[in-house]
């Protein structure tokens, strides 16, 4: 089974770190984000990877050539200009169209959720999305019926709110909905959701983080050694 990793962005919020190193190669807890993703997908049976690359792509290619401990096939879909997440997947069609189903992953996500569960839910839908619980950006104060404070909770997961985890399983029909340029979240997903063509799996009690800022780098580096894979 193949998985496409969207790894072509500039990583602007992580500058100056990303001025010479592409975001997927930034290290957290001792190894690059991209390696965490490949190891995770490898554990779930993925052996063929399509890397959608653009910015500092030569460095990503060099890094992949240095990997000798995994028996994997790697294909490259190259953007000469930013195409957005939808456009990047569309550009990789030649590597994915022949697959019955395939995974797509945002290039800044680190998680231990089981992506194969998406395969069981796609059924007659065009795609299935992994959903995780929203984490509050602030600490939460709990009170009793009289307004007395009973507890402080530091940035808890909000049990009733779910967000797109950036982990997808698609059928090749997705290419009929993708733009040549633009983000899949703002184009294809809106159309597909209107026609109830997107399935989902809600993941609880999993590790999930998106690495977007310096603070994320620090947080993930601190948390990963404790994660059960």
Q: Is 138 contained in some domain?
A: no
Per-residue model confidence as pLDDT tens digits over 87-127: 999 999 999 999 999 999 999 999 999 999 999 999 899 99
Number of structural domains in the chain: 1
Q: Is 93 contained in some domain?
A: yes
CATH number of the domain residue 105 falls in: 3.90.550.10
Confidence of residue 229 (pLDDT cuts 50, 70, 90): confident
Q: Indicate if the pLDDT at residue 20 is higher than 90.
A: yes
Query: Burial level of 145, CB count in 10 A (0-12/13-18/19+)?
Result: exposed
153 forms beta bridges with: 140
Query: What pLDDT is attached to residue 171?
Result: 97
Q: Is 145 contained in some domain?
A: no
Q: Indicate if the pLDDT at residue 157 is higher than 90.
A: no
Q: Is 139 contained in some domain?
A: no
Q: Indicate if the pLDDT at residue 24 is higher than 90.
A: yes
Q: Is 108 contained in some domain?
A: yes
Q: Is 7 contained in some domain?
A: yes
Which residues are tagged catalytic? 155
Per-residue model confidence as pLDDT tens digits over 60-77: 999 999 988 889 999 999
Per-residue model confidence as pLDDT tens digits over 192-227: 999 999 999 999 999 999 999 999 999 999 999 989
Domain limits for position 206: 2-132+161-223
CB atoms within 10 A of CB 109: 22
Q: Is 151 contained in some domain?
A: no
Going by C-beta distance under 8 Å and a sequence separation of 6 or more, which residues neighbour residue 140? 152, 153, 155, 156
Q: Is 52 contained in some domain?
A: yes
Mean pLDDT, the chain, integer: 94
């Amino acid at each position: 089974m193949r998985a496409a990793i969207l790894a072509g962005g500039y990583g602007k919020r992580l500058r100056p770190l990303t001025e010479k190193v592409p975001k997927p190669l930034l290290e957290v807890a001792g190894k690059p984000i991209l390696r965490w993703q490949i190891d995770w997908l490898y554990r779930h049976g993925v052996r063929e990877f399509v890397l959608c690359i653009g910015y500092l792509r030569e460095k990503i290619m060099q890094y992949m050539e240095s990997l000798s401990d995994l028996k994997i096939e790697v294909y490259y879909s190259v953007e000469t200009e930013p195409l957005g997440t939808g456009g990047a997947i569309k550009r990789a069609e030649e590597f994915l169209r022949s697959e019955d189903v395939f995974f797509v992953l945002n290039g800044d996500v680190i998680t231990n959720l089981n992506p194969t569960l998406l395969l069981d839910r796609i059924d007659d839908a065009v795609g299935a999305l992994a959903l995780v619980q929203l984490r509050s950006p602030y600490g939460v104060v709990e009170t009793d019926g009289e307004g007395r404070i009973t507890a402080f909770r530091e940035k808890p997961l909000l049990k009733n709110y779910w967000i797109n985890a950036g982990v997808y399983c698609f059928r090749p029909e997705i290419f009929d909905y993708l733009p040549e340029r633009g983000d899949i979240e703002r184009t294809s997903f809106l159309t597909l959701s209107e026609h109830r063509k997107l399935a989902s799996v809600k993941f609880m009690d999993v590790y999930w983080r998106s690495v977007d800022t310096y603070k994320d780098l620090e947080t993930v580096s601190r948390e990963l050694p404790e994660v059960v894979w």
